Amino acid sequence: MSKEFYKRFRPRNLKGVVGQESAIAILEGLIEKDKVPHVLILSGPSGCGKTTIARILKTTLDCGDADFQEVNAADTRGIDTVREIRKHMGLRPISGECRIWLIDEAHKLTNDAQNGLLKILEDTPKHVYFMLCTTDPQKLIRTIHTRGTELKLKGVVPLAMEKLLCDIIEREKLSVGEDVVASVIDAAEGSARKALVILEQVSGLDGDKAQLAAVASTTYTRELAFDLARLLVTGQNIGWADVAKILRAIKEEDAEGIRYCIIGYARSCMVGGEGKPPNIKLGERAFKIIDIFGRNFFDSKHAGLAAACWEAVFK
């Protein structure tokens, strides 16, 4: 079975990374001077290429498969994770020149874990590199920022996204029209990964009408997410019947994306708009929502989302 588009067309080198020209230029300069930092913080929105760049550096730095460790901090976020790294980081590489730890969703590490990680970063062996990938770098403690070099990535702009999609459409000989491509770009919101997932979903449908309807369904999910976020965060006249109605319309696989939307909306409510002071009462409610929805739904999926909503309404 062939791999999904977002896996099959993942860049194999830095030149292939789409829409991150400034960051790639900086990184190439560091590579050319043999000054790749041993602690690299890759920050940016979901789907912009953070883990892809880290995996490319694995090859660039001559790190063997056995010496490349990926840790998802959303799943293993405690101090034990850091202790495990500390136990193995002093060992010499099994193959290649170095050992690399890629810590995805690094901001999800607990405060104790981050402080434990800081001690490791302060005395990193010459053969060890850490790649900290995060969508929320502000949640990393300040001292981690001072020990590392942050490479800021951005959402992929429409022009770069269009070129990426059109190249794949031509290569795969897909029947996808210009209007559909434009709709996919809008729905992807700067995420190359999301754009490829949507493109693959619609490419098997016949005709622009069916394809546009399929893209619109992803937009519909986003609208549901914001409706749910507004309902939970504002907390005004909130009733379980209203929440349950939205939950029934959400697909199982969309639960984690909905969670991110709710957290993002709550954060915006906490800090207020530009030139507009934050609403303290609303901020307190938003803080509670962020705390409740801090747990991921990778395993529990829609049930986890429903449980978190229940807690937000009744506790």
Which CATH number characterizes residue 62's domain? 3.40.50.300
pLDDT at 285 over 50: yes
Share of the chain residues as helix, strand and coil, in percent rounded to the nearest 5: 60, 10, 30
pLDDT at 128 over 60: yes
Q: CB-based contacts of 149: which residues, under 8 Å, 6+ apart?
A: 37, 39, 40, 41
Last residue of a domain, one of 99, 124, 152: 152
* Gap between the Cα atoms of 167 and 120, Å rounded: 43
Question: Which whole number is the average pLDDT over 104-130?
Answer: 91
Query: Quick one: pLDDT band at residue 213, thresholds 50, 70, 90?
Result: confident
Answer whether residue 174 is part of any domain: no
Answer whether residue 30 is part of any domain: yes
Looking at every residue in the chain, the average pLDDT score rounds to: 88
Residues 144 and 225 in one domain: no
Answer whether residue 298 is part of any domain: yes
Last residue of a domain, one of 100, 132, 152: 152
Write the single-letter amino acid at 19.
G
Rg over CA atoms, the chain = 21
pLDDT score recorded for residue 273: 57
- φ/ψ (deg, to 5) at 237: 50, 40
10 closest CA partner among 41, 46, 56, 42: 56
pLDDT score recorded for residue 1: 45
pLDDT score recorded for residue 204: 85
| Range with lowest mean pLDDT among 28-42, 223-237, 267-281, 299-313 | 267-281
Question: Which whole number is the average pLDDT over 249-269?
Answer: 80
Question: Which whole number is the average pLDDT over 203-214?
Answer: 88
What is the sign of the dihedral through the CA atoms of 9, 10, 11 and 16?
Answer: positive
pLDDT at 125 over 60: yes
pLDDT score recorded for residue 2: 59
233 closest CA partner among 302, 315, 290, 271: 290
pLDDT score recorded for residue 234: 83
pLDDT score recorded for residue 279: 77
pLDDT at 257 over 80: no
List 71's β-bridge partners, or say none: 103
Last residue of a domain, one of 152, 177, 193: 152
Answer whether residue 206 is part of any domain: no
Answer whether residue 66 is part of any domain: yes
Contact 296, 302 (CB under 8 A): no
Maximum distance among all alpha carbons in the chain? 61
pLDDT score recorded for residue 77: 73
Residues 114 and 238 in one domain: no
pLDDT score recorded for residue 266: 87
Answer whether residue 42 is part of any domain: yes
pLDDT score recorded for residue 251: 75
pLDDT at 35 over 60: yes
The model scores a pTM over 0.75:
no
pLDDT at 275 over 80: no
pLDDT score recorded for residue 30: 95
Beta strands in the chain (DSSP E): 39-43, 68-72, 99-104, 128-134, 149-152
Q: CB-based contacts of 56: which residues, under 8 Å, 6+ apart?
A: 11, 12, 13, 14, 17
Residues 237 and 120 in one domain: no
Counted domains in the chain: 2
pLDDT at 236 over 80: no
283 closest CA partner among 294, 267, 295: 267
Q: Range of 98's domain?
A: 20-152
pLDDT at 276 over 60: no
Answer whether residue 139 is part of any domain: yes
* Gap between the Cα atoms of 198 and 95, Å rounded: 38
pLDDT at 28 over 80: yes
* Structure-block tokens of residue 199: 């493109």
* Gap between the Cα atoms of 17 and 156, Å rounded: 10
Answer whether residue 189 is part of any domain: no
Question: Which whole number is the average pLDDT over 292-313?
Answer: 87
